[in-house]
Every structure is written in C-alpha cells, then in structure tokens.
Amino acid sequence: MAQAEMILKVATQLFAALGYDGTSTRQIADAAGLNIATVNYHVGGKRDLYLAVMEHAHQAERAALQAALARLADADPVTGIHGLLDDYLDFCVGNPEVPALWMHRWLSDASDITELERQYVQPLVGGVTSAMAPAVEAGVIDTGVDLEYAMWSVIWSVHGFAKGGVLDAEGHRRTATDRAALRRFRAHLHLSLHRTLGLPGEAP
C-alpha cells in the first residue's frame, strides 16, 4: 500500500472515531508509523487530509447511490424503493466510517469547514428525492408526504443504527455486526418507510 493511501486510511479511521476536532496530525502520523513531515509531504496539513477523507467517503457513497438509483429506475416503484432502502442500509453497515464522519459533523465537528454539506450532501439527497418524484406523480407515494423529510428520517435512522446500534433487554449494545439486530432493524425500517410514504400493499 502506498504511503498516501495508508495515511488516508488511518486518517479516515481516526476522524470517524474522534472527529476532526479531536484528531491531531501527530495522532495520524503515529498511527501510520510515520513522522509529521512525511504526512504533510504526501497529503498536506490536517485540513487538506480531512477534505481528502470526506471526498473519498463522498465518492464511495455517490457510487453506491448511483447504482441503487439505476436499479430503482428499472424496477416497479414499490420494489425499487425498498431496494433503494436496502442498498443504502447495506452501504452504511458495510462502510461504518461514512455515517460516523457525517454524524461528527452533525455535532458541529469541523465547524470552520462549511462547504461539505452543500457540495456533497444536498446533491445526493436531491438526487434521491428527484428519482422518487415519478412515484409521487403516479400516485404510488402519497402526495401529502414531505419526501425530503422522509429521506432525512431514513438517513438519521440508518446513521444512528450504523454508528450506535440499539440496546437489548439486558442493556447490552447490539450493533450492525449483530445479524439478529440488523435483521430486526431492516424489517422495522422497511415497514416504517412503507407506511410513511403510503405505499400500496404490504411491506416486504
């Protein structure tokens, strides 16, 4: 693995765990087994590295959503919407650093870096809501639904589960690596979105 790639991987792990404000260039260098000068040479300062990490995370998420939206377009609306939900959940569970990075930002991490939501988040959310507009026009989705907030509700729920999991009856935390918890959350998410959108038939 090239040094720049290794630095990016280590920085992603630390920013996801500690946030931008809680991570220092020294921590990144130490975790990568390098000195700060080498880190700066390959990727620049902490801000540059954070921007590279967020860009990499965005590209992965965008690729996953584009593939999911292509499948949505080829399926009947109800099946496609539920497939899109599965694809998004699977992406976040398989790439837990991505929701972790964004959840830190929800808590005002890296508050001096303000352009990422406009640059990355808004186009993705807008793309999903636009892709679902034909289902609204066809009457498959209830026309009274606030589609944008419905999508945000999914994002909040999925990110929260991928990052924090749930507590079981004994107070133990069950995360997305727990198959039973993931299966239960998936079923709940499908039922919740199905009812929120007013989709016809039964939720899968």
d(CA 138, CA 144): 13
Q: Report CA dihedral (54, 55, 59, 65) to the nearest 10 degrees.
A: 50
178 pLDDT tier (thresholds 50, 70, 90): very high
- Locate tokens 């569970």: which residue? 93
| CA angle, residues 17, 58, 20, in degrees to nearest 5 | 30
The answer to the question of residue 169 being in a domain is yes
Residue 16 in domain: no
Q: What does the pLDDT read at residue 73?
A: 87
- H or E stretch including 197? helix 179-197
User: Distance between CA 132 and CA 112 in Å, rounded?
Assistant: 34
Within a domain: residue 161?
A: yes
Model pLDDT, residue 181? 97
Structural domain containing residue 100: 56-197
Transcribe 104-167 into DSSP letters.
Answer: HHHTTTTTT--SHIIIIIHHHHHHHHHHHHHHHHTTSS-TTS-HHHHHHHHHHHHHHHHHH-EE
Q: What are phi and psi of 111, to 5 degrees?
A: -65, -15
> How does pLDDT run across 134-166, given as a tens digit for each residue?
999 999 999 999 999 999 999 999 999 999 999
Query: What is the per-residue pLDDT across 8-59, written as a single tens digit (0 to 9) for each?
Result: 999 999 999 999 999 999 999 999 999 999 988 888 899 999 999 999 999 9
Tell me, yes or no, whether 147 lies in a domain: yes
- Write down the pLDDT at residue 42: 87
Q: Is-contact 104 15, C-beta < 8 A?
A: yes
Does the residue 151 lie in any domain?
Answer: yes
What's 74's domain CATH number? 1.10.357
Say if 77 falls within a structural domain.
yes
* Domain annotation covers residue 70: yes
- Answer positive or negative: Cα dihedral of 165, 170, 171, 172: negative
Over residues 67-92, the mean pLDDT reads 94
Tell me if residue 73 falls in helix, strand or coil.
Answer: helix
10 within a domain of the structure (yes/no): no
Q: Say if residue 1's pLDDT is above 80.
A: no
Indicate the number of domains in the chain: 1
Per the CB < 8 A criterion, the answer to whether 60 and 119 are in contact is no
Percent of the chain whose predicted confidence (pLDDT) is above 90: 92
